[in-house]
Amino acid sequence: EEPPPKRLEPFKKRDFTLDELKEYDGLKSPYVLMAVNGKVFDVTRGKDFYGPGGPYSNFAGHDASRGLATFSLGPEAIKDEYDDLSDLNGMQQDSLREWEQQFDEKYDLVGRLLKPGEKHQQYETEEETEEEDGKGGKKDN
């Protein structure tokens, strides 16, 4: 019998190039990340779907936008180069926005997928943010 999986630390927010995102496919890293419409989500808790051997495992560590927008799981849905999605029709763009909304509600947003030439942005840690807005200590009423 396998021991229960260790709980992973929450993923620190950061930006990703397409190549950096590929490291988080559930094989090279215990985390499973994927991009949807320029946002990178931690889908590790959906590992049965997105992780190795799952029905959507080809999206792990990749930009899943085209595949979700076109309802395609084939290799043509995953690009090795940045995909600006400019050829999607109106229905596909609407579908992509709906998927993005579902991922926003279900999974943790951990960063942005960078366009070629875009610079990485620095994010504050959760602890720093909590200290600044008073969530870290007792609340004064």
Q: What is the pLDDT of residues 24-33, one digit of tens each?
A: 999 999 999 9
Supply φ then ψ for residue 122, to 5 degrees: -90, 135
CATH architecture of 14-113: Roll (3.10)
Distance of alpha carbon 34 from alpha carbon 36, whole angstroms: 7
Distance of alpha carbon 45 from alpha carbon 34, whole angstroms: 12
Q: Find residue 111's DSSP bridge partners.
A: 40
pLDDT at 1: 55
From first to last of its 141 residues, the chain has per-residue pLDDT tens of 545 556 788 899 999 999 999 999 999 999 999 999 999 999 999 999 999 999 999 999 999 999 999 999 988 899 989 999 999 999 999 999 999 999 999 999 999 999 999 999 988 865 544 444 444 444 444
Residue closest to 114 by CA, chosen among 40, 3, 51, 46? 40
